[in-house]
C-alpha cells in the first residue's frame, strides 16, 4: 500500500498507483495530522483578523489588487474552478488521471497548502474507488501551474463535471450518489491549492519516465537481435573498449549486449571488421538515454515531493509566503530532454530495420525478410510496408523534438509573463514515446522473422541465439506468426505495442 503523508514518494509509487497495482491510504500519523491542521487553523485566524491573503481575500493573478468583500470570500474557490473549465483537446486517460491525482495528493500532503484533512481524504478516496476526473489535456502554460486541467480535479471533488467510472465517462454527481460520497464545498485557499501546482505535468512525467526507462532495455534487446539477424560483430561491445569511455549508462548497455550475445562464449564469424553505426554505436545512442535517467529522476521526484502552489502556508511558523513554486521549469526541461533522447532511439531502431530489410546489408537474407517459398516470392513483399511505417513514425517522432520550454508566452494581463510550458513538453514526450514504441513493435516482428529465417537455413543454432533472445522470439510469436504469405499486420502490431506499454516482458531485471 502507498501511504501519502509519511515519506517521500518515488516515480515507481506513482506508476503503481496509476496502473492500479497497489492501493493507497492517507497517513494517520499524529505529526502529519497536526501539520495539516496547523495550516488550516492559521488561515482561519488570519481571516478572522481580516488579513490580506492572495487568492483568499483577493482576486487571482493580475486581479490580486482586487479585494474580495468578506461576504463573498466563501464563494471565491468555486468561481476559480468554474471559470477555468475551458480545457480542450483529447482527455487524459484514466491511467494518467490517476497519476495526476497522486501527484497532487503528495504535494498537498507536504502540509504547506492550507487545506483540510477532509480534502486530502476525498482525493485519496477517488483513488481508492477509482473515480478519476476526466481532464482535457490542453490549456495549461505550466505556470501558474496546471490551472485549467487541475480545475477538473477541483470540480470533481465538489461533485461537478465528469469522471471515469469502470471504463465509462459519467457525471460525477451520479457516481458520488451511488457510492455515498459527499461533495466538498471548498474553503478559502483550497481551490487555489488544488489548481495552482504542477501535478498534471509531474504525473505525466512519472509515467513518461517509466516508459523511457523500459525503452532503454527493450532497445538493447532489439539491438542484440539485429546483430544476430545481420551477422554483426559482437566485439563492438567489448568490456575493455567501454572502460576507456566510462559513461555508466553506456557501459550498462554494452554489458547487456555482451550478455545477450554471449560474447566470447559462442564463436560467430562476421564478414565486416566494423558494423555500420546503428549497430556499432548502439550503446552510445541508447546510453545517452540511460545516462539521462538518474538526472531526470532527481528532478521529477523533487518536484513530486514539493509544495508547489502559491501562496505557501507555513502554519507552524505562522507565515504566508507569496512566491512562484507553481513554475514547472524543471519538469519542462526533463520532458524536453527525454523526448529528444527517446526520439533518437526511434531513429536508431529505424536504421537497424533498414539494414535487415535490404539485401545489400542483411548478409544473405531475403528482401524485406519475406518468408515466401521461392515459387511465390514474386508476389510476396514481407515487411516492406512495415518498414515504410517505421520511417513515418520515426520522422514524426523526430519532428516532435522541438523544445517546448523555450516557447514561453506572456498571458493573463502580463502577470504570467514568463511561463514554463511544462505540460506541453510532457504531452509532446508522450507522443514521442508512443511513436517510438510503435517502431519498437515493428522491430520486434522483423527481428523474430530474421532469426527464424537464420534458424530455418541452419545459419544460426539455438545455442548461438541463446536463451534470452529465444525467449523474446517466443513472446513475439505468441502474438504474430512467421510471415510466409503477405497479411495485414495492424492488429498484431497493436497488441505488441500494448504489451510494450504495459511492460509485460522482463528485460535484464535480475542481471547486473
| Dihedral of alpha carbons 197, 198, 200, 202, sign | negative
Final residue of a structural domain among 174, 197, 220: 197
Identify whether 202 is part of a domain.
no
- CA–CA gap between residue 480 and residue 490 (Å, rounded): 11
Q: Which residues are catalytic?
A: 54
Instruction: Give per-residue pLDDT as tens, 257-293.
Output: 999 998 766 556 666 789 999 999 999 999 999 999 9
pLDDT over 70, % of the chain: 97
**Pairing relationship of beta strands 168-171 and 162-165 according to DSSP bridges:** antiparallel
Residues 216 and 186 in one domain: no
Output the domain CATH number for residue 189. 1.10.275.10
| Dihedral of alpha carbons 90, 96, 100, 101, sign | positive
Residues 148 and 286 in one domain: no
Final residue of a structural domain among 140, 164, 197: 197
> Is-contact 363 276, C-beta < 8 A?
no
Largest CA distance in the chain: 92
Output the domain CATH number for residue 450. 1.20.200.10
Residues 159 and 216 in one domain: no
pLDDT value at position 33?
Answer: 97
DSSP secondary-structure letter at 88?
E
Among 468, 448, 470, CA closest to 511: 468
DSSP secondary-structure letter at 58?
B
- CA–CA gap between residue 487 and residue 483 (Å, rounded): 8
Q: What is the DSSP string of 122-179?
A: HHHHHHHTTEEE--EEE---SSSSSHHHHHHHHHHHTT-SEEEETTEEEEHHHHHHHH
Final residue of a structural domain among 197, 224, 240: 197
Instruction: Give per-residue pLDDT as tens, 97-127.
Output: 999 999 999 999 999 999 999 999 999 999 9
> Is-contact 131 174, C-beta < 8 A?
no
Count Cβ atoms below 10 Å from residue 498 Cβ, excluding itself.
13
Helices (H), 244-281: 248-261, 277-280
Instruction: Name the least confident of 54-68, 136-150, 180-194, 344-358.
Output: 54-68
Name the β-bridge partners of 320: 313
Count Cβ atoms below 10 Å from residue 261 Cβ, excluding itself.
27
Residues 360 and 248 in one domain: yes
pLDDT value at position 55?
Answer: 74
**pTM of this prediction?**
0.95
pLDDT value at position 307?
Answer: 97
Count Cβ atoms below 10 Å from residue 244 Cβ, excluding itself.
6
Place of cell 495530522: 33
Residues 212 and 161 in one domain: no
Structural domains counted in the chain = 2
- Interhelix angle 199-229/422-456, nearest 10 degrees: 20
Identify whether 77 is part of a domain.
yes
Residues 121 and 60 in one domain: yes
DSSP secondary-structure letter at 265?
T
Among 69, 341, 373, CA closest to 208: 341
Mean pLDDT of 487-496: 98
Identify whether 508 is part of a domain.
no
Identify whether 18 is part of a domain.
yes
Residues 212 and 184 in one domain: no
26 φ, ψ (degrees, to nearest 5): -95, 140
Q: What is the CA radius of gyration of the chain?
A: 26
pLDDT at residue 65 is higher than 80? no
Identify whether 320 is part of a domain.
no
Residue 57: domain span:
2-197
Instruction: Give per-residue pLDDT as tens, 381-424.
Output: 999 999 999 999 999 999 999 999 999 989 988 888 889 999 99
pLDDT value at position 512?
Answer: 44
Mean pLDDT of 484-499: 98
> Is-contact 48 56, C-beta < 8 A?
no
Amino acid at each position: 500500500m502507498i501511504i501519502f503523508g509519511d515519506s517521500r514518494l518515488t516515480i515507481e509509487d506513482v506508476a503503481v498507483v496509476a496502473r492500479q497495482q497497489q492501493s493507497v491510504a492517507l497517513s494517520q500519523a499524529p505529526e502529519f495530522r497536526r501539520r495539516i491542521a496547523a495550516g488550516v487553523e492559521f488561515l482561519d485566524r488570519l481571516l478572522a483578523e481580516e488579513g490580506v491573503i492572495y487568492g483568499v481575500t483577493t482576486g487571482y493573478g493580475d486581479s490580486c489588487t482586487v479585494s474580495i468583500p468578506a461576504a463573498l470570500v466563501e464563494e471565491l474557490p468555486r468561481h476559480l474552478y468554474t471559470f477555468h473549465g475551458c480545457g480542450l483537446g483529447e482527455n487524459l486517460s484514466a491511467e494518467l488521471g490517476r497519476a495526476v491525482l497522486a501527484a497532487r495528493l503528495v504535494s498537498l500532503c507536504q502540509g504547506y497548502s492550507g487545506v483540510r484533512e477532509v480534502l486530502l481524504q476525498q482525493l485519496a478516496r477517488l483513488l481508492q474507488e477509482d473515480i478519476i476526473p476526466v481532464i482535457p489535456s490542453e490549456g495549461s502554460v505550466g505556470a501558474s501551474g496546471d490551472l485549467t486541467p487541475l480545475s477538473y480535479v477541483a470540480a470533481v471533488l465538489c461533485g461537478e463535471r465528469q469522471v471515469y467510472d469502470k471504463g465509462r465517462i459519467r457525471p460525477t454527481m451520479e457516481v458520488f450518489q451511488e457510492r455515498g460520497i459527499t461533495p466538498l464545498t471548498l474553503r478559502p485557499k483550497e481551490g487555489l491549492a488544488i489548481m495552482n501546482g504542477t501535478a498534471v505535468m509531474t504525473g505525466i512525467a512519472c509515467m513518461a519516465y517509466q516508459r523511457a526507462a523500459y525503452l532503454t532495455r527493450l532497445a538493447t534487446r532489439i539491438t542484440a537481435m539485429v546483430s544476430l539477424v545481420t551477422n554483426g560483430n559482437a566485439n563492438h561491445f567489448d568490456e575493455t573498449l567501454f572502460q576507456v569511455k566510462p559513461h555508466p549508462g553506456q557501459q550498462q548497455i554494452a554489458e547487456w549486449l555482451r550478455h545477450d550475445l554471449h560474447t566470447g562464449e559462442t564463436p560467430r564469424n562476421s564478414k565486416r571488421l566494423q558494423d555500420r553505426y546503428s549497430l556499432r554505436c548502439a550503446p552510445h545512442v541508447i546510453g545517452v538515454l540511460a545516462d539521462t535517467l538518474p538526472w531526470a529522476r532527481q528532478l521529477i521526484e523533487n518536484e513530486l515531493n514539493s509544495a508547489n502552489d502559491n501562496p505557501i502556508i507555513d502554519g507552524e511558523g505562522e507565515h504566508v509566503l507569496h512566491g512562484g513554486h507553481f513554475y514547472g521549469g524543471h519538469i519542462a526541461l526533463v520532458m524536453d530532454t527525454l523526448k529528444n533522447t527517446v526520439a533518437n532511439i526511434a531513429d536508431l531502431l529505424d536504421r537497424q530495420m533498414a539494414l535487415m530489410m535490404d539485401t545489400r546489408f542483411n548478409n544473405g537474407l531475403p528482401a524485406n525478410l519475406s518468408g515466401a517459398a521461392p515459387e511465390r516470392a514474386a508476389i510476396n513483399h514481407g515487411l516492406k510496408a512495415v518498414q515504410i511505417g517505421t520511417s513515418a513514425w520515426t520522422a514524426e517522432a523526430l519532428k516532435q523534438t522541438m523544445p517546448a520550454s523555450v516557447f514561453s508566452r506572456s498571458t493573463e494581463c502580463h502577470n504570467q509573463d514568463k511561463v514554463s510550458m511544462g505540460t506541453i513538453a510532457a504531452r509532446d514526450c508522450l507522443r514521442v514515446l508512443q511513436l517510438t514504441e510503435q517502431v519498437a513493435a515493428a522491430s520486434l516482428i522483423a527481428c523474430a522473422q530474421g532469426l527464424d529465417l537464420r534458424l530455418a537455413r541452419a545459419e544460426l543454432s539455438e545455442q548461438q541465439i541463446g536463451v534470452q533472445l529465444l525467449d523474446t522470439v517466443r513472446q513475439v510469436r505468441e502474438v504474430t506468426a512467421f510471415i510466409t504469405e503477405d497479411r495485414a499486420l495492424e492488429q498484431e502490431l497493436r497488441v505488441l505495442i500494448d504489451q510494450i506499454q504495459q511492460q509485460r516482458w522482463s528485460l535484464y531485471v535480475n542481471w547486473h
